[in-house]
Structure 1
């Protein structure tokens, strides 16, 4: 297999949208990218969830996401398919973190068992790590249900948007190393 050179972007990358399955490593990658490029970091979970895993009102969340996406610079981590139409046209790059779903599920289970996960920076206060049947179902069905919606949204709202699909830890590491250091 031929190795390719790190991708050079023709225009400045100031707004990077990171999506993928739960447990894929979106938040960890988003933190690393934000540090490396010196960009503000936005975890959408912190804006959507209220204490006790209460969801934000959809209209309020859309308005907040529109304001966040309107900023000049960011790394934004989160799926929230209902707001992709607001975020994709503003993004300079979409990163789809896409390891196999069994690996994602194993990471979610491990994270739930880890007491250090209680204070995850991507979750708001009052939302402890959780694991239930609906969440397991979401993780296992992501490749068939959610990933196609994300890719369809790209085609519909930002067909010229560059997409980087990272399927392994090695690909994530290589891509991260290819980014310039701010």
Structure 2
């Protein structure tokens, strides 16, 4: 596996898993949020769709990569080029807990954030989590059904660890 795409809801563990795999496999990882947003000293600037797609193309044209994110409407090229697609389908309550924990850690500077951890973003994370549960999850499952032979669905840390140890 040299090209891995990790997808799931906010709080599902995508970034953590991407970092672990990146360390173990010595493959660079990229957050899709950083493909969508250009991070500047003055705040985040949304890339145009063309800039976003070009940036994604630059990443997937390399030999090795790990991409992770919740985005699912514009990533088809990444999914097609991935050797393995991991859907982190962790329980709703676990994601809620992780969203709260992440916000507290980021506010106290115990965890790095690519964005300013505001209450507005905090509230949005709950909206995104609910949207995943109520709509996006089914859309993602339908999208991934095309790639069944390379999709792995993991629901908890035990399954993730078992998969990592293979």
Scaled by the length of structure 2, the TM-score of the pair is 0.85
> Deviation at 1:141?
2.4
> What's the CA shift for 1:152?
2.2
Within a 5 Å distance, the mapping from 1:12-161 to structure 2 comes to: 13-49=1-37, 50-51=39-40, 52-114=43-105, 115-117=108-110, 119-120=112-113, 123=114, 127-130=115-118, 131-155=121-145, 158-161=146-149
| SS of residue matched to 1:164 | strand
User: Considering only aligned residues, what root-mean-square deviation do their CA atoms show, in Å?
Assistant: 1.9
Segment of structure 1 superposing worse, 145-154 or 85-94? 145-154
Cα distance in 2 for partners of 1:60, 1:67 equals 10
Q: Can you give the 5+ residue segments of structure 1 that lack an aligned partner in the other structure?
A: 1-12
How many angstroms does 1:60 deviate by? 0.9
Tell me the distance in 2 between the aligned counterparts of 1:170 and 1:100.
13
> How far has the Cα of 1:53 moved from its partner?
4.0
Following TM superposition, by how much is the alpha carbon of 1:161 offset from its aligned partner in structure 2, in angstroms? 4.1
Q: Which moved more, 1:129-138 or 1:92-101?
A: 129-138
Question: Is the CA contact (8 Å cut-off) linking 2:7 and 2:69 kept in structure 1?
Answer: yes
Considering fraction of residues, name the structure with more strand: 2
Quote how far apart the aligned CAs of 1:118 are.
Answer: 5.3
Alignment CA distance shift 1:72-1:109 (3 Å): same
Question: Between Structure 1 and Structure 2, which shows a larger proportion of helix residues?
Answer: 2
Cα-to-partner distance string for 1:93-130 (whole Å, 9 max, x where unaligned): 1001111112111111111111235524xx2xxx2234
Counting matched residue pairs gives: 159
Q: Which residue of 2 aligns with 1:166?
A: 154
Confirm or deny: 8 A CA contact 1:102 1:140 kept in the other structure: no
**Where in structure 2 are there 5+ consecutive unaligned residues?**
none
1:4-44 deviation per Cα after TM superposition (whole angstroms, max 9, x unaligned): xxxxxxxxx11010111111110010010111111121122
